[in-house]
Structure formats: structure tokens, C-alpha cells
Structure 1
Amino acid sequence: TNVAARATARADELTAEEFREGGRILTAKVERLRPGWLAVVGITAYRTALDDKKARIGPQERTIGDTRIWALPNPSGLNAHWTLETMAEEFARLRAAAAS
């Protein structure tokens, strides 16, 4: 999922408060719906929204209830740190974890 509902060209166009509010809304949804996994697109969004400054891409130690969390790279073309191949590998890691 995306944390902020407002579409932007760049993540830095969103304020920290928008991310935090999105995190509060998302946490409430997860608590209500109780999915097995929550995948958050964008590490900056995840870190700010869920107040986890040291989070890295991949599975998180933190959970929301019994819901496990996975932070994924943002697939934006502006995300130069990840190639299509390395993004696909990360999404595949989540898929494998969710299937087990």
C-alpha cells in the first residue's frame, strides 16, 4: 500500500505530517482488517509514517497486531537506487514469504 493518499511526482512533496496521518489511518485499517502481511511502498514513507527511523527494505521486526510488515522500494522512475531487476527480486522475496 501507499501511506499517503495524495498522488505526487516525488515523495518529498509530501509533508511529514501527511505521512504520519497516513500511518495512523493505515494502522487503524490493519487493526480492523487483520491481514497476514502489510507491504508498504517506499522506505521513507514507512520510516516516517510508522516512526521507525532505522527501518530497511525488507521484512520488519515490528508488527501491527499479528500483521507482519514488509517495506518495499518505491517503483517510481525517480528511485535510482533500485533497478527493475533488484525491485523485482525484492517483491519476489515478499511473495515467497507471504506464500509460506
Structure 2
Amino acid sequence: MPDLLAPGMRVLFCGINPSLYSAVVGVHFARPGNRFWPAMHLAGFTPRRFLPSEQGEMKALGLGITNVVDRATASADQLEAQEYVEGRRSLERKVKRYRPSFLAVLGLGAYRSAFARPKARFGRQEETLGDTRLWVLPNPSGLNASYQLPDLARLFGELRRAVDAG
């Protein structure tokens, strides 16, 4: 799955790993039940609800997309612990190269595993990667029934307000 990256992004959104569907179509958050695109719009990151196929328009807004783990699976519970560790190393290289203001990891469990922070909570994290601030949001996958779209929009909106505040 190709990353959507550019130097100096405001936010680099980081999914856990691509779904099998996303990997086939080559687009991030492509499954019809994924709430990433509506949450992005409702939170004010995008001027309208983008279709997954319009992901390239994110760059003009200073936004990018990557994943902790590149391997596509039917669900994230199929990933091995070592893949998260290797994924963090890859993220560190991307952050060092592209220098986003924020790295937003979309999945608390993924963040806890990749960054060895078992007690992390949603929101801004104390640690940084260089000058990049870390933020954790819920996974917007339709498989994550714990967070409905209004909850996701509110939490994504907290990040957007922090980004806008500098």
C-alpha cells in the first residue's frame, strides 16, 4: 500500500495496517464501513467528505496517510507483536524524513504495542518523535463498534483544534 506523504505535513495519520480490500484497490481506508473519511470531514480536516479514491487531495491540505504495519490482513488481530516493533522503526524513519507537526496513530492498541506504552490513553501523548507531537485516536474501522461516528468526529476534532492552535 503506497503511503501518502509530503514534507512538512500538518498531520500524518497512521492506520494500524491495510485491510485486504484497501490493499486490492490501493487506497487507504477504502472499505465502505470505514468511518475515517466521514470523521475527517465532520472534524473539519476536509472541506467535504472525500471518497477514498480522492485521498490524493489530502496532500494539498497538509495531511498524509501511512500505516504502522504494511501487511494487509482481514483484521488487525492477525498481526504479530514483532510487526508493531518493526512498524515503529519505519514510522520513526518517515517522521524524521517528512517532519509532520503531528503523527496521529489510529488505534490505541496499535500505539501501545508499537511504542511500548501499555498505559497510553487517547489524545496527545507526552513523548514526541523529534519535533513531531504524537496523538492517539480510535481506529475508525467499521469493525471497531466501541466508537460511533459522532464519537470519532469529536475526538478527531480535538486533534484538529490542537493542530490549528499550533
Alignment TM class, shorter chain as reference: over 0.9
Q: Would you say 1:21 and 2:103 are equivalent positions?
A: no
Match of 1:36, as an amino acid? Answer: S
Equivalent pairs, count: 100
Quote the offset at 1:33 in angstroms: 1.9
The CA deviation at 1:9 is 2.5
Deviations 1:27-67 (A, max 9, x none): 11112222111011111111111111111111111101111
Letter in 2 for 1:39: A
Instruction: State the alpha-carbon separation in 2 of the partners of residues 78 and 68 from structure 1.
Output: 27
Please tell me whether residue 56 in structure 1 is matched to residue 132 in structure 2: no
Which residue matches 1:44?
Answer: 109
| Deviations 1:62-90, CA, capped at 9 Å, x for gaps | 10111101111001111121111101111
The two structures have a TM-score, normalised by structure 1, of 0.93
Compare relative contact order (CA 8 Å, sep 6+) and give the higher one, 1 or 2: 2
User: Which structure would you say has the larger Rg?
Assistant: 2
Amino acid at match of 2:95: V
Tell me which residue corresponds to 2:143: 78
1:7, CA displacement in angstroms? 2.2
1:8 Cα deviation after fit: 2.1
- The Cα RMSD (Å) is 1.0
Structure 2, unaligned stretches of length 5 or more?
A: 1-13, 15-66
Q: What is the TM-score when the length of structure 2 is the normalising length?
A: 0.58
Question: Unmatched 5+ residue regions in structure 1?
Answer: none
Does 2:122 correspond to 1:65? no
Give me the whole-angstrom Cα distance separating, in 2, the residues matched to 1:93 and 1:9: 29
